[in-house]
Amino acid sequence: MKLKLFFFLTTLFFINTHAQSYIFGKVVSEDSSEMPDVTVINIRTDEMTVTNRDGHFMVSGRAGDELRFVKAGYERLVKKVSGENIASSLNVTLSRETILIPEVEVKKGLTGDLKIDSKNLNRPKKVEKLTKDIDRYIAQKSDPRILAAKPGEFVQPKGQGFSIGKVKNKWDDIDLTAYLRTALGEEYFTDLKIDQSQIDHFISYVLAGGFERKSILKYGFCSDADLNRFQRFVLTRVSSYRAPQTQR
């Protein structure tokens, strides 16, 4: 009887110890707006998820785990999970990244010295005269006889014109790869266990997996929505990319 009781208590302890726990939470911005498409990573297990449109997320974990929160344009944040976070919701606030403002060139102001001010502000007379002469020449109408065909010259007949083919895209995959690496930052990829030397190769792997990018390449513009869509697509490809490296 004692042996059965000991076996039962041991089994119960094992189940409680290894029971799967989940961490629930919500991510908001500095102005308390709900933040969708934030990547949440459990550093211990490498498990990843993204917040829904209301900013809510759920990821497996336990007390003591560290969760990393990543979103383009915002400071990365790491939160350590406490016992209270298992029992209640974990609230997280992300702050926008600091944007460096480029230097502004300050032009020389008036000094009060007529000789210095006239030199700094007034263009030389020769430059002023040349500018006026060019403007006057451009404003003149050309004599149509100058452009008329000379005797014996072939004149192209007027018609509807012809197509010269499709207009080329402003970007190609190399341009898009460089933009994604810069916009997301190398730390985003290293958080996914991608070596720095493999980042470009990994981005190419994700693009080759069927990421829709026609409009991005056509206009040479990647919006925030495109970045979020790429991050969601990454989560479907990162495991298969790392699998061959693990097997080596």
Given a contact cutoff of 8 angstroms between Cβ atoms, the answer to whether 94 and 71 are in contact is yes
Q: Dmax over Cα atoms in the chain, in whole Å?
A: 122
pTM over 0.85: no
Given a contact cutoff of 8 angstroms between Cβ atoms, the answer to whether 207 and 173 are in contact is yes
Start and end residues for every CATH 2.60.40.10 domain found in the chain = 17-94
Residue 106's contacts (CB-CB under 8 Å, 6 or more residues apart) are none
pLDDT tens, residue by residue, 193-242: 899 999 999 999 999 999 999 999 999 999 999 999 999 999 999 888 87
pLDDT tens, residue by residue, 82-134: 888 887 889 999 999 876 666 655 566 556 565 566 566 566 676 677 777 77
State the pairing for strand pair 39-42/66-70: antiparallel
pLDDT tens, residue by residue, 38-94: 999 999 998 999 999 999 999 999 989 999 999 998 999 999 998 888 878 899 999
CATH topology of domain 17-94: Immunoglobulin-like (2.60.40)
